[in-house]
Amino acid sequence: MHMNKAAILVAGGKGMRMGTSLPKQYLPLAGKPVLMHTLERFFQADPSLRLILVLPKEDFEYWTNLCASHSFDLPHQLVAGGSSRFQSVKNGLMALPFQEGLVAIHDGVRPFVSEKVIQTSFEQAAEKGSAIPVVALKDSLRKVGTAGESSFQDRTHFRLVQTPQTFQLGPLLQAFAVEELAIFTDDATVYEHQGWEISLIEGNPENIKLTTPEDLAFAEFLVLAR
């Protein structure tokens, strides 16, 4: 049975921590902008996906010119972002032409998500309602108090959360119909706010979010190591 499936890539950040005038989603990685790598990952994982790219409205012309200069013709729809990630995701959801199916929400500056994670996320969400990729911590963990005191935390009880975060679309639309709250740090927290349980899947460690110059240097290494 055919099920509608989409991926919403959110890329509205200014990349202040990257230390460049150009937002990090447009920085060149192995000869083409980071966002193009990310879009290609989803297309390769499932060419039938409807791809939504959420960008600041004022960047539309710049992105269109980038696509032309790189002969990048992978089909995707541009949607204007909002004042926060919550609002940008909501705009992407509102742009979908269907209200039932599955949708993956992904950080546009995570170009190394594996095809296996993408495919597994849709399979798990279809079965359990949601699929959130996580990876185990490698380093020791300490909790720091307001006065600077710290205490050991057992790292086996914690996971680092990644994207894509994939959901059945109907419940997710209901979850995003609420007012935005400060506790909404990602899409899973929006969904969880409704009282629904989150289902975890194993992520891939190299699926880093490009935030700092060191991240970009590591990304170049990952591209060459493929």
pLDDT digits (tens, 9 = 90+) for 98-107: 999 999 999 9
Task: Compute the distance between CA of residue 29 and CA of residue 103 in angstroms, rounded to an integer.
Answer: 27
DSSP annotation of 188 reads H
pLDDT reading at 65 higher than 90: yes
Q: What backbone torsions phi and psi does residue 87 show, to the nearest 5 degrees?
A: -70, -35
* Residue 42 pLDDT level (bands cut at 50, 70, 90): very high
This prediction's pTM: 0.93
Q: What is the pLDDT of residue 123?
A: 97
Q: Closest by alpha carbon to 109, among 5, 211, 214?
A: 211
pLDDT, tens digit (0-9, with 9 covering 90-100), for 155-196: 999 999 999 999 999 999 999 999 999 999 999 999 999 999
- The helix/strand count (H/E) of the chain reads as 7, 12
pLDDT reading at 26 higher than 70: yes
The gap between the terminal CA atoms of the chain, to the nearest Å, is 35
Of 70-74, 113-117, 136-140, the poorest mean pLDDT is in 136-140
Structural domain boundaries of the chain? 5-225
pLDDT reading at 19 higher than 80: no
Task: Compute the distance between CA of residue 11 and CA of residue 26 in angstroms, rounded to an integer.
Answer: 9
Q: What is the pLDDT of residue 12?
A: 77
Q: What is the pLDDT of residue 1?
A: 56
Task: Compute the distance between CA of residue 32 and CA of residue 187 in angstroms, rounded to an integer.
Answer: 28
DSSP string, 128-169: HSEEEEEEE--S-EEEE-TTS-EEEE-GGG-EEE-S-EEEEH
Task: Compute the distance between CA of residue 9 and CA of residue 39 in angstroms, rounded to an integer.
Answer: 8
Q: What is the pLDDT of residue 207?
A: 96
Tokens of 21: 């005038």
> 5-225 falls under which CATH superfamily?
Spore Coat Polysaccharide Biosynthesis Protein SpsA; Chain A (3.90.550.10)
Task: Compute the distance between CA of residue 45 and CA of residue 48 in angstroms, rounded to an integer.
Answer: 9
β-pair partners for 179: none
Q: What is the pLDDT of residue 21?
A: 73
**In terms of C-beta density within 10 A (0-12 exposed, 13-18 middle, 19 or more buried), how is residue 83 classed?**
exposed
Q: Which residues lie closer than 8 Å to 221 by C-beta, 6 or more apart?
A: none
Of 6-15, 57-66, 116-125, the poorest mean pLDDT is in 6-15
* Residue 226 pLDDT level (bands cut at 50, 70, 90): confident
Angle CA 172–84–39, to nearest 5: 70
Per-chain mean pLDDT for the chain = 93
Q: Which residues lie closer than 8 Å to 90 by C-beta, 6 or more apart?
A: 82, 176
Residue 143 near residue 153, CB atoms below 8 Å: yes
Q: Which range in 124-128, 153-157, 220-224 is most confidently predicted, on average pLDDT?
A: 124-128
